[in-house]
Amino acid sequence: MRGSFFRAFLVGLSLTALMICGLGIGAAWLLVPTPAVRFATAAFSFEMPAGWSCTREVTEYVCRLSEPSDAIVIMTMKYRSADDTLVKYEEHLRTPMPAVGRDGHAELVSVGRRTIAGSEWVEGILRDSEAHNYDTTYLTGITAEVAILFTLSVHAKYREARAKDLRKMIESLVVYQRPH
């Protein structure tokens, strides 16, 4: 009798443990979100919003939501030279440039500095600088070795809809080299 009680006790304990584990796994599956997909290069990485994909095109990385795209992100980097300073990039963004698709100059919406991934970056937003009816955010950062440029263009009609995706990319940016 002692042996059958002990076996029944172990079976009951095992079934209870399996049921608790199953409930824990089920709850985790329902409650814990799938980790975000990260796009990574040798110098930086960021979270890819759902539906976006990036490909390498010669010296640049191009990220799109779909074709034809109402938003596009182009990233490039180069080894630093004496001309790669935040002051010079900021001056460049303030210099009037021809508008695309209309007469006059591209409209400078804003230009300034912000801290991303522990480094200072220059951020400028221009309207009609890359394509007609597109707002383009230029984001430039400098590390000890490279200068990184993000160009984030979104059609004016979809600006609000894509703002969350573009913000997610920028705010999740991780730079793998020490800042300048």
Q: pLDDT digit string (tens) for 16-60?
A: 878 887 777 776 667 776 666 888 888 888 888 888 888 888 889
Classify residue 69 by its DSSP letter.
-
CATH class of the structural domain 37-175: alpha beta
**What order do you get walking across the sheet with 44-48 strand by strand?**
37-40, 44-48, 174-175
- Cβ 76 vs Cβ 59: under 8 Å: yes
For the chain, give the number of residues: 180
Q: What SS3 class is residue 124? A: strand
- Indicate the pTM of the whole model: 0.75
User: Domain extents for the chain?
Assistant: 1-32, 37-175
Q: pLDDT digit string (tens) for 49-102?
A: 888 888 888 889 998 887 667 888 899 888 889 899 999 999 999 999 999 999
Q: 75, 85, 65, 88: which is closest to 43 by C-alpha?
A: 75
